[in-house]
Structure 1
Amino acid sequence: MSADVQSNTEALSKVDSAIDDGAPASPSESKIKHRRTSSTVSGVFNINDLEKEGVELKIAPETQRLNWKVNSSSSTVDDKEILKKMLTHPPIKKIDLRFPLGLEVTARNMKGVTIKDALDAIHKQFKKKADDELDAPYLAGFEWDKDECYTRFIVHQKKTGEAAPPSGKKKNKNKGEEA
């Protein structure tokens, strides 16, 4: 029987031309390869790394005047250009968004979380809710309390969707016309 095993081994080594002589015998011996680098973008950070370095995050101020209903799609925002802006500076790959009652959603984007990514994450939780089921259906903005939790933003909501306040330039023009 040992003669059969020996002949099988010899036959395999002769026939198996797909084996690379320099390749390791088992996968555990092979070098561990990292994920694709094409999905990572330079200048976009992991929030945990920023926390270790003590970097200050700045939330885009445009989020406070979106006048967006949480149970409607992000495409309903009036100014579509705002959706393309990064949610934070410096850009991050993911952020947890926590609501006052404890609900938490995560916005992710390997190229940097945009305002649209945050709105889409929130919308996913509320899309099946009717307007009368929501106490405060409009997004009022985000708050970052780095002392409480560095890796989480607090989501603020409001009951009514007031018209967005005009920018400083428009106010100055109106004041000049009235005077």
Structure 2
Amino acid sequence: MSAEATANPLTKVDSAVQGLSSSPPKDGAKHRRVSSSAAGVMNINDLEKDGIDLQIAKETQKLNWRINKSPSTLEEPEKSMLKKMLTTPPVKKIDLHFPLGLEVTARNLKGVTVKDALDAIYKQYRKKADDELENPVLAGFEWDKEESWTRLIVHCKKEGAPQPKKKGKKGQEGEEL
């Protein structure tokens, strides 16, 4: 029986017998992850080569977000700012550098949003208590192309601006002037 099995050629396609490789054909097919990135989202290194300047979303300076608190705890109108792109043009990843030397990376193949940046920062500081942090409130980001094209400098401050007061009933607050 074993002599018969070896004498007859195999009828199923077997890559080892037929001399075919098991890897996909190399006919210019792109890597699969490319399809998940959005159109118009750039690689930060390509921007540097082309000399394209970055603009940072100005909304990051108004968040008054504590770096050791989850970004999802923000309330409106700050919460709606989380969906905005962190930079223009949008990038797939960017390094966030703290003045004391810590560096974190925010990534999103569809473009790094403000929330992606805050999540990356929060991941580093979530276990720290408020009194352990010298400057616990995010003041904003700065891009200095002379220092490094591919990263943003994170600025923090001691205290956030006071939260805006909720409007009282019609005649109460307006008459106290």
Q: TM-score range by the shorter chain?
A: 0.7 to 0.9
**Number of residue pairs aligned between Structure 1 and Structure 2:** 158
Q: Of Structure 1 and Structure 2, which has the larger fraction of its residues in helix?
A: 1
My pick for the range that moved more, 111-120 or 69-78, is: 69-78
- Look up the match of 1:14: 10
Report 1:1-179 matches (<5 A). 8=6, 10-11=7-8, 13-15=9-11, 17-19=12-14, 25-27=20-22, 30-31=25-26, 33=29, 34-78=31-75, 79-163=78-162
TM-score (norm 1): 0.79
Q: Offset of 1:162 from its aligned partner?
A: 1.4
Q: CA RMSD in A?
A: 2.5
Measured at CA, do residues 164 and 18 of structure 1 come closer, stay the same or move farther in structure 2, by a change above 3 Å? Answer: farther
SS in 2 for 1:160: coil
Q: Offset of 1:24 from its aligned partner?
A: 6.5
TM-score (norm 2): 0.80
Q: Offset of 1:150 from its aligned partner?
A: 0.3
Q: Offset of 1:71 from its aligned partner?
A: 0.1
% of aligned pairs identical?
Answer: 61
Within 2, Cα distance between the matches of 1:120 and 1:38?
24
Q: Offset of 1:134 from its aligned partner?
A: 0.2
SS in 2 for 1:140: strand
5+ residue gaps, structure 2, are 165-176
- Equivalent position amino acid for 2:42 in 1: F
Within 1, Cα distance between the matches of 2:130 and 2:122?
13
SS in 1 for 2:156: strand
SS in 1 for 2:80: helix
Within 1, Cα distance between the matches of 2:147 and 2:33?
34
